[in-house]
Amino acid sequence: MNQESAIEHVAPTTASIATATAVGATSRALPTFAPGFYPIAIGAAFAEGVYAGVVRGVNGAPDQHLLLIDGEVDGVIWDTACIWAESVGGSLPTRAEQAVLFGNLKDHFQRDWYWSSEQAGPSTAWDQYFLDGTQSSLTRSYEGRARAVRRLPI
Taking the domains of the chain in order of start, what are their residue ranges?
A: 41-153
Are 65 and 90 a contacting pair, CB within 8 Å?
no
Length of the chain: 154
When comparing pLDDT for 21 and 147, which is higher? 147
Helical H runs in 7-142? 14-22, 78-87, 95-105
The arithmetic mean of pLDDT across residues 11-16, rounded, is 38
Indicate if the pLDDT at residue 5 is higher than 50: no
pLDDT, mean of residues 111-120: 98
Tell me which architecture the domain covering 41-153 has in CATH. Roll (3.10)
Distance of CA 83 to the CA centre of its chain: 11
Q: Provide the pLDDT for residue 18.
A: 40
Average pLDDT of the segment spanning 68-73: 98
Q: What is the DSSP letter of 36?
A: T
Q: How many CB atoms lie within 10 A of CB 134?
A: 11
56-79 mean pLDDT: 94
Question: pLDDT tens, 19-54?
Answer: 444 444 444 444 445 556 666 799 999 888 999 999
User: Mean of the pLDDT values across residues 48-74?
Assistant: 93
Q: Is the dihedral of CA 136, 141, 142, 146 positive or negative?
A: positive
> pTM higher than 0.95 for the full model?
no
CB atoms within 10 A of CB 150: 23
Q: What is the pLDDT, as a whole number, of residue 34? A: 56
The pLDDT, as a whole number, for residue 30 is: 43
* Contact partners, residue 15, CB within 8 Å, separation at least 6: none
Tens of pLDDT, residues 83-92: 999 999 999 9
Q: What is the mean pLDDT of residues 93-120?
A: 98
